[in-house]
Amino acid sequence: MPASKKVFGIVLAGGEGKRLMPLTVDRAKPAVPFGGQYRLIDFALSNLVNSGLRQIVVLTQYKSHSLDRHVSQTWHMPNLLGSYVASVPAQQRLGKRWFSGSADAILQSLNLIRDEKPDIVVVVGADHVYRMDFNDMIDAHIQSGAGATVAAIRQPIELANQFGVIDVSPDDPTRIREFLEKPINATGLADSPGEVFASMGNYVFTADALIDAVTRDGENTQSNHDMGGDIVPDFVARGDAGVYDLKNNDVPGSTDRDRYYWRDVGTIDSFFDAHQDLISTLPVFNLYNADWPIYSQQLNSPPAKIVRDAQGNLGQLIDSIVSLGSLISGAHIERSVLGAWAKIDSGAHVVDAVVFDRVQIGANARVQRSIIDKDVIVDEGATIGVDPERDRARGFTVTDSGLTVVGKGVHVTP
């Protein structure tokens, strides 16, 4: 990014995450564990920090204790040149009310922008899994002269009804002509008729333009005060919104297989699918890119251990991720992700599962196509995910696709 431009980062992390229930019963969506040792917010913060941003605030609201704690413990930056990542809760600066939307969150936090006096503000969500170097997007934004620039990823046109779709001007493909929310009959891109631009929920604003937009939006009683639903369309209507194609973004260390990976993990099924993307031999999303690391809390834990049980049965681990402190004793683990300090006993089968921290799965238990939250105890011989109807009857969440979700701290009996 140009040395003369001061850039400020805002992470929108106040979301309730209703579609991820019961994983969000006790925590904000950005604090949901992911990939064994990460939290969802780590991906947004890692991208910003790797891009050279050193002044970043995380706007929180809903059940934010675990998120605030994670940010303070993990993202402590040396106070060089004013560097910081700070968690900022709703402060009711504009009256006795909480944030009524993502744009209102920024409106109520304008003191943060005015204190730093940046030229450019980068605004990102905290619930997407991806890698992105924001430097090129910032440069493109400055060169375009637009007040706002929206990051876009190319998606098949048949999936257009799942995204906010960006329609670009045929005369200038870098300018947004219209912003369409989940259109049924989308028009393909001029250079690729089978694809559309889907909004990634990442934005670059000229600071003064952002302040003006959220201030005017705050006075509009008909607005939902949402960044994607209200602020971006306002810039589009005034011809002041540009689009940045992720295809132009080249993250150091990325490969052709994972260069343009991006997932919105806002539902249980997409959350599960994103974990499956991690575990193949050539993963669709590569956690092992040392040139663009995903940072998280470094646990003071022993290494993971896979051993024979007392009867000499060998523990098996196939196409899976196992986090620090975990112990697998004579159990079979396949296509699964285990969080820290998971304990899997003899004869247990764990297949196609996402297991969070400190879960204990007893001998001869069976877990399949399931997500198991922290501190769950699965007794010897118990089953999860084997019979979805029985799981529903036991009070577990079961998705339409048959995924079973067990909430935090549940004791599962045979």
**288 domain-assigned:** no
**79, 146: one domain:** yes
DSSP annotation of 314 reads P
Rounded CA gap, 226 and 199, in Å?
14
**198, 154: one domain:** yes
**404 domain-assigned:** yes
- Are 244 and 201 within 8 A, CB to CB? no
What counts of helices (H) and strands (E) characterise the chain?
A: 9, 28
**285 domain-assigned:** no
**236, 333: one domain:** no
DSSP annotation of 122 reads E
Residue 94 pLDDT: 61
Q: What is the CATH number of the domain that holds 74?
A: 3.90.550.10
Rounded CA gap, 178 and 150, in Å?
12
**270, 332: one domain:** no
Rounded CA gap, 293 and 306, in Å?
26
Helix (H) or strand (E) holding 354: strand 349-355
Total domain count, the chain: 2
Structure tokens at 231: 């602020």
Residue 14 pLDDT: 77
Rounded CA gap, 399 and 24, in Å?
15
- Are 382 and 412 within 8 A, CB to CB? yes
- Are 268 and 399 within 8 A, CB to CB? yes
- Cis amide leading into 22 (omega within 30): yes
Question: Where among 260, 276, 292 does a domain terminate?
Answer: 276
The annotated binding site is made up of 164, 181-182, 199
Rounded CA gap, 124 and 199, in Å?
11
The annotated binding site for alpha-D-glucose 1-phosphate is made up of 164, 181-182, 199
Structural domain that includes position 358: 305-412
Rounded CA gap, 17 and 405, in Å?
15
Residue 338 pLDDT: 97
Rounded CA gap, 56 and 32, in Å?
20
CB-based contacts of 414, cutoff 8 Å, min separation 6: 379, 380, 381, 382, 383
Residue 224 pLDDT: 86
Rounded CA gap, 103 and 112, in Å?
14
Rounded CA gap, 35 and 232, in Å?
32
**89, 141: one domain:** yes
> Per-block average pLDDT, block size 10, for the chain (414 residues)?
79 84 91 94 96 93 86 81 84 67 89 94 94 96 95 93 86 87 86 91 96 92 85 93 94 90 92 93 89 89 89 88 94 96 96 97 97 97 95 95 96 94
**258, 371: one domain:** no
**67, 210: one domain:** yes
**291 domain-assigned:** no
Q: Are strands 262-264 and 128-130 parallel, antiparallel or unpaired?
A: antiparallel
**74, 179: one domain:** yes
For the chain, how many residues are written? Answer: 414
- Are 304 and 320 within 8 A, CB to CB? no
- Are 372 and 359 within 8 A, CB to CB? yes
Q: Are strands 55-60 and 84-89 parallel, antiparallel or unpaired?
A: parallel
Q: What is the CATH number of the domain that holds 387?
A: 2.160.10.10
Question: Where among 229, 261, 276 does a domain terminate?
Answer: 276
User: Which residue is listed with tokens 């209200």?
Assistant: 230
Rounded CA gap, 193 and 180, in Å?
17
CA dihedral 243, 247, 252, 257 (to 10 degrees): 140
Rounded CA gap, 110 and 120, in Å?
14
**300 domain-assigned:** no
Residue 3 pLDDT: 53
| pTM for the structure as a whole | 0.92
Residue 92 pLDDT: 66
**289 domain-assigned:** no
Residue 120 pLDDT: 97
**15, 143: one domain:** yes
Cβ burial, residue 284 (10 Å; 0-12/13-18/19+): middle
**222, 320: one domain:** no
**104, 196: one domain:** yes
What percent of the residues of the chain are helix, what percent strand, and what percent coil, each to the nearest 5? 25, 30, 50
**CA 277 to chain centroid:** 14
What residues form DSSP beta bridges with 361? 344, 378
**94 domain-assigned:** yes
**376, 243: one domain:** no
Query: CB count, 10 Å around CB of 214?
Result: 25
Residue 93 pLDDT: 64
Residue 385 pLDDT: 96
Rounded CA gap, 42 and 45, in Å?
5
**286 domain-assigned:** no
